[in-house]
């Protein structure tokens, strides 16, 4: 598949496909120095960075100027032998750059053209640029995050980008499967905006169906289930998730046996109605315990809980080692690169991200049958910048 992508959302989508064994060919613009992710600090050496490595391991790179007629001709040769063309551009760009199924169908009737844009390929916002933080604001995510009396807060990670990447990767796989079944490709029009809207899930359903406004709760508390939040301990923080009645009874057994018979806290509705009274009892009990002791007590009674780690802390979790969830490989310029493994456990192997344009000539020889003369002509005509 061909990927006209940059930064996070698009490269994250095609990374999933590369980890599953797809040959992902990044089309990088020589005029701009390729994917801007190559230059994101810190931990950067020239056109290589750990940021770029995170999103582009296992891919190939072709340097191609799609604005030049010769570059477009090379791109069309690649389309003829590809299953899909993926892009994460503004919603008006696939049509302008002739990357839609209508444009590419004459070259390959089975081509799948997947677009992940900020707002989709139609509507009044389709030509607007979009970034994760802006979309977290627009779609209500930030209004749901943070302390009640504090400012709106974004997620610590670019979850709209990554979720949009997963959505578009799923759409592309489904499109390719259908094209192989029916012999006809399609467009996949996906957007970060609609991905973020869909991930409002039950909060969105409450708002759209009943006009409900979900309020922010202290300590990252769930809007309706109690206790389901972070608690301070004697030496840190833990999270407790009593999402079932049996877990609530486990909390009682571990921390406050008298609460099991208190009618104020008998069921989900009662605990929600008497939230502050319940938390006034649980908070001081947990403040008396160390994180280790609190987790031991709660875990003994089957209550889902965990320490609030920093990122360095999670590296030491024994589950990481047991599941081989951290992988390592050698990079020619960056040295050892350690990353979290793909959660798609299907025999994935890990190789470094490509240098910009390193696959241009080998891939064109291999896939399109270019010889020295054809490559020389394309180069002279500006196809490769």
Task: Give dist(CA 91, CA 89) in Å, integer.
Answer: 6
Task: Give dist(CA 88, CA 102) in Å, integer.
Answer: 18
Q: Confirm if 57 and 352 have CB atoms less than 8 A apart.
A: yes
DSSP string, 61-92: EEE--TTSHHHHHHHHHHHHT-SEEEE---TT
Question: In the annotation, is 331 catalytic?
Answer: no
382: which DSSP letter? T
Task: Give dist(CA 219, CA 345) in Å, integer.
Answer: 34
Q: Which residue, 149, 139, 137, is CA-closest to 217?
A: 149
**What does R_g of the chain's alpha carbons equal in angstroms?**
25
Nearby residues of 14 by Cβ (< 8 Å), 6 or more positions away: 1, 3, 5, 22, 24, 26, 59, 86, 169
Choosing from 212, 222, 301, 331, the catalytic residue is 222
Task: Give dist(CA 232, CA 249) in Å, integer.
Answer: 21
Task: Give dist(CA 160, CA 162) in Å, integer.
Answer: 6
Residue carrying structure tokens 């202290």: 218
The residues with which 45 forms a beta bridge, in sequence order, are 48
Q: Confirm if 385 and 63 have CB atoms less than 8 A apart.
A: yes
Q: Which residues are the active-site residues?
A: 222
């Amino acid at each position: 598949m061909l990927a006209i992508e940059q930064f996070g959302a698009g490269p994250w989508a095609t990374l999933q496909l590369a980890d599953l064994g797809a040959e992902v060919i990044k089309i990088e613009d020589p005029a701009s120095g390729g994917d801007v992710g190559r230059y994101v600090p810190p931990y950067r050496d020239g056109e290589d960075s750990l940021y770029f490595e995170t999103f582009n391991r296992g891919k190939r790179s072709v340097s191609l100027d799609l604005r030049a007629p010769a570059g477009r001709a090379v791109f069309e040769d690649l389309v003829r032998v590809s299953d899909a063309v993926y892009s994460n551009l503004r919603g008006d760009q696939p049509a302008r750059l002739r990357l839609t199924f209508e444009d590419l169908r004459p070259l390959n009737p089975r081509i799948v053209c997947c677009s992940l844009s900020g707002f989709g390929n139609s509507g009044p916002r389709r030509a607007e640029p979009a970034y994760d933080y802006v979309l977290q604001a627009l779609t209500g995510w930030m209004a749901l995050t943070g302390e009640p009396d504090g400012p709106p807060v974004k997620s610590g990670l670019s979850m709209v980008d990554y979720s949009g990447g997963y959505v578009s990767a799923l759409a592309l796989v489904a499109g390719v499967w259908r094209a192989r079944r029916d012999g006809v490709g399609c467009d996949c029009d996906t957007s970060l905006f609609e991905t973020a809207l869909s991930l409002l899930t039950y909060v969105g359903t409450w708002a759209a169906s009943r006009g409900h406004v979900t309020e922010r709760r202290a300590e990252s508390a769930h809007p309706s289930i109690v206790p389901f939040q972070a608690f301070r301990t004697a030496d840190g923080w833990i999270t407790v998730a009593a999402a079932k009645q049996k877990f609530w009874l486990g909390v009682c057994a571990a921390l406050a046996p008298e609460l099991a018979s208190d009618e104020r806290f008998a069921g989900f509705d009662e605990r929600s109605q008497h939230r502050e009274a319940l938390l006034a009892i649980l908070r001081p009990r947990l403040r008396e315990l160390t994180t280790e002791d609190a987790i031991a007590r709660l875990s003994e009674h089957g209550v889902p809980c965990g320490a609030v780690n920093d990122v360095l802390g999670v590296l030491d979790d024994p589950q990481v080692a047991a599941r081989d969830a951290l992988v390592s490989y050698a990079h020619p310029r960056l040295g050892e690169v350690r990353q979290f493994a793909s959660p798609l456990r299907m025999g994935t192997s890990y190789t470094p991200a490509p240098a910009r344009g390193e696959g241009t000539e080998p891939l064109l020889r291999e896939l399109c049958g270019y010889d020295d003369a054809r490559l020389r002509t394309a180069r002279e005509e500006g196809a490769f910048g």
